[in-house]
Amino acid sequence: MQVHRILVINPGSTSTKIAVYRETKSRLVETIRHSAEELSQFDHITDQYEFRKNIILEKLAKSREKIDEITGVIGRGGMIKPVESGVYEVNEAMKRDLFKGVMGEHASNLGGLIADDIAQSLPHARAFIADPVVVDELQDLARVAGHSLFARKSIFHALNHKAVSRIYAQQIGREYEDLNLIVAHLGGGITVGAHRKGRVIDVNQGLDGDGPFSPERSGTLPVGDLARLCFSGEYTLNDVKKMITGKGGLVSYLGTNDVYKINLMAEDGDTKAAFLLDALAYQVSKEIGAASVVLKGEVDAILITGGLAYNERIVNYIKLMVAHIARVVILPGEDEMKALAMNALQVLRGEKECKIYQ
């Protein structure tokens, strides 16, 4: 049986994570940091393409891995057109949309582009992405925003939502597609999804202003007040966008998005820090409650994941609020690199169908 080696590429705003897996075992895991000075020379995310690719190739050349034996290269899925969950082979249509940024500019757009370029330079490799943030399985009712000029969009932590759901299903000896789950990803952004039989039929758009506030995002704001602020003449469009994403949430109240630091402040008697952590957990709990209504109360489990799932204060508050709905399971952190590698491996083994992006 062929042994597969898989290269994983996960570009972030200030770093690029790479990993090499030999079947299910990681052989190389590295985070390449990019300074503000290095990135300032590029006007657009896609302008960083050659810069990041060359750094990855340099790291691989210095490693002891047998690069020529790589059979799959998988990148973090970017802001392509809305798609169903799954693994997609990189094709010309996808590359065109990643370069254009059809759903917006994001560092993850580089994942598929670099994966394809590297795969083409190798003798036996295919290039993929899996479960990009634009996975869209919303039921039609969930798309209605409340005004004909607007529609709710599905942009969420699809890769980790799907990965932890499958992990939990495996733990209990069930299939993900047979379960009704509520998954709350708590990180720099927060998304809470209602998973019905393997499809995320409703989820808050956690990228730029929907749902609970987070360490650096405002979540849903009072729209009347926001409209008046926008036309006050005191703020530019860029100012307001930063209020929503980057300078919203906890950082707007406390001047830091470091939840570990904020938690220490709360433990040392800072009542404002404690209050705001509770407020964050309160809003997450409300979103979980709303998701339970979407699933008509038929919930097999509530899964809490992401980096903030390590925070006992936040998790305990949420448990207290939602334990009456269903069993609460804590699956902290996120292992996007392994999730990407396993998706590619399943396709290469013929265990999962590879979808075509159009």
5-135+336-355 shares its CATH topology with 158-332:
yes
Tens digits of residue pLDDT in 15-72: 899 999 999 999 999 999 888 788 889 988 899 999 999 999 999 999 988 899 999 9
Report the predicted TM-score, pTM, of the whole model to 2 decimal places: 0.90
% of the chain beyond a pLDDT of 90:
89
DSSP 130-181: ES-TTB----GGGGB-SSTT-B----S-HHHHHHHHHHHHHHTT--GGG-EE
142: number of Cβ within 10 Å? 17
What pLDDT is stored for residue 105 in this prediction?
A: 85
The CATH architecture to which 5-135+336-355 belongs is 2-Layer Sandwich (3.30)
What pLDDT is stored for residue 177 in this prediction?
A: 97
Q: Is the pLDDT of residue 83 over 80?
A: yes
What pLDDT is stored for residue 199 in this prediction?
A: 98
Tens digits of residue pLDDT in 216-240: 999 999 999 999 999 999 999 999 9
DSSP annotation of 245: B
Higher pLDDT, 107 or 323: 323
When the pLDDT of each residue in the chain is averaged and rounded to a whole number, the result is 95
What pLDDT is stored for residue 327 in this prediction?
A: 98
Higher pLDDT, 188 or 142: 142
Q: Is the pLDDT of residue 149 over 80?
A: yes
What pLDDT is stored for residue 207 in this prediction?
A: 86
Binned at pLDDT 50, 70 and 90, residue 104 comes out as confident
Binned at pLDDT 50, 70 and 90, residue 265 comes out as very high
What pLDDT is stored for residue 272 in this prediction?
A: 98
Give the contacts of 319 (CB within 8 A, at least 6 positions apart).
328
- Residues of 281-303 as b/e, b for ≥16 C-beta within 10 angstroms? bebbbebbeebbebbeeebbbbb
Tens digits of residue pLDDT in 270-295: 999 999 999 999 999 999 999 999 99
Measured between alpha carbons, how far is 37 from 4 in angstroms, rounded to an integer? 38
Read off the tokens for 124. Answer: 């036996």
Give residue 334's Cα distance to chain centre: 9
Read off the tokens for 218. Answer: 């405002």
Q: Is the pLDDT of residue 345 over 90?
A: yes
Measured between alpha carbons, how far is 72 from 125 in angstroms, rounded to an integer? 5
What pLDDT is stored for residue 36 in this prediction?
A: 78
What pLDDT is stored for residue 64 in this prediction?
A: 85
Which residue type is seen at 131?
D
What pLDDT is stored for residue 1 in this prediction?
A: 76
% of the chain beyond a pLDDT of 70:
100
Measured between alpha carbons, how far is 21 from 28 in angstroms, rounded to an integer? 7
Where are the chain's structural domains?
A: 5-135+336-355, 158-332
What pLDDT is stored for residue 106 in this prediction?
A: 85
What pLDDT is stored for residue 14 in this prediction?
A: 80
What average pLDDT does this structure show over 1-22? 92
What pLDDT is stored for residue 335 in this prediction?
A: 84
Instruction: Classify strands 87-89 and 354-355 as parallel, antiparallel or unpaired.
Output: parallel
Measured between alpha carbons, how far is 285 from 54 in angstroms, rounded to an integer? 44
What is the side-by-side order of every strand in the sheet holding 301-306?
A: 199-203, 190-196, 180-186, 301-306, 328-332
Would you say domain 158-332 falls under CATH 3.30.420.40? yes
Q: Whose structure tokens read 């009712």?
A: 141
Q: Is the pLDDT of residue 354 over 80?
A: yes
Which residue type is seen at 29?
V
Q: Whose structure tokens read 């529609």?
A: 151
Counting every residue written for the chain, the total comes to 358
What pLDDT is stored for residue 52 in this prediction?
A: 95
What pLDDT is stored for residue 12 in this prediction?
A: 84
What average pLDDT does this structure show over 72-100? 96
Higher pLDDT, 35 or 91: 91
Measured between alpha carbons, how far is 282 from 323 in angstroms, rounded to an integer? 13
Q: Is 338 helix (H, G, I), strand (E, B) or coil?
A: helix
